[in-house]
A and B are shown apart, each in its own frame.
Chain A
Amino acid sequence: GAVVSQHPSRVICKSGTSVKIECRSLDFQATTMFWYRQFPKKSLMLMATSNEGSKATYEQGVEKDKFLINHASLTLSTLTVTSAHPEDSSFYICSVPTDSYEQYFGPGTRLTVT
């Protein structure tokens, strides 16, 4: 069964609204989770590292005020895209790393901003 879940799997929102994406670790506790973004026909780009109980670490060029990350428990991290615009339309994927440097990926969330 799935180790990491994401909700919703697809979302369409209007420009200017905010969207929250949840990433849940189902089988084990995760002090760290990663958020990736993938444009069509492109690679996965790491956006940020979500840290349980503390602030997220953002990669260079990622707007922390636009992509709010909250990791309030050992099984849940959320990514909120604030004041979404069409250029935020993308495939967002979270992952949970293991001690052996493998990562379990969520199924992804396809965001479309109209």
Chain B
Amino acid sequence: AQKVTQAQTEISVVEKEDVTLDCVYETRDTTYYLFWYKQPPSGELVFLIRRNSFDEQNEISGRYSWNFQKSTSSFNFTITASQVVDSAVYFCALSEARNQGGKLIFGQGTELSVKP
């Protein structure tokens, strides 16, 4: 069965702190894709990253970085020097290659609040 778990429902930090959002996934497929999306209060989903199951290299994009570890089935997301504009709900998602058209299974989401 496929499943994505984001154990942290809410996180509150003070501006400039680093924060890590956890994501653990379950899948029986060997080929799959993992995603992170940001959902600000407006509701529109903002794509952050896609990672395929054969690429375990960590990625850094500005203040954002992702740590993908197949051994622990985790795909964690770290924001360095957080800013108030980072406040949003963040979703981790999984797409199995065998699924029709790549439909996404979302985690429960982590609501991040960055206070000034």
Which residues of A does B touch, CB under 8 Å? 32, 34, 41-46, 49, 57, 91, 93, 95, 97, 100-103, 105, 107-108, 110
Contacts and interface: CB of A to CB of B under 8 A. Distances in A.
Interface of B: 33, 35, 37, 42-45, 47, 50, 52, 91, 95, 97, 100-109, 111
Contact of B103 (A34, A42, A102): A34
| Majority-rule SS of B interface residues | mixed
Nearest to B104: A103
Contact of A108 (B33, B35, B44): B44
A107 B104 contact: no
A91 B43 contact: yes
Given A101-B95, A105-B45, A34 B101 contact: yes
| Majority-rule SS of A interface residues | strand
Contacts of B52: 101
Given A42-B108, A43-B108, A43-B109, A105 B44 contact: yes
A34 B107 CA distance: 17
Contact of A102 (B42, B47, B108): B47
A-B interface, 3 closest residue pairs, ranked by CB to CB distance from nearest: A32-B101, A101-B102, A105-B45
Contacts of B102: 97, 101, 103
Given A101-B50, A101-B97, A103-B102, A108 B43 contact: yes
B106 A43 contact: yes
Given A91-B43, A110-B43, A43 B101 contact: no
Given A101-B33, A101-B50, A101-B95, A107 B43 contact: yes
A105 B7 CA distance: 24
A49 B102 CA distance: 10
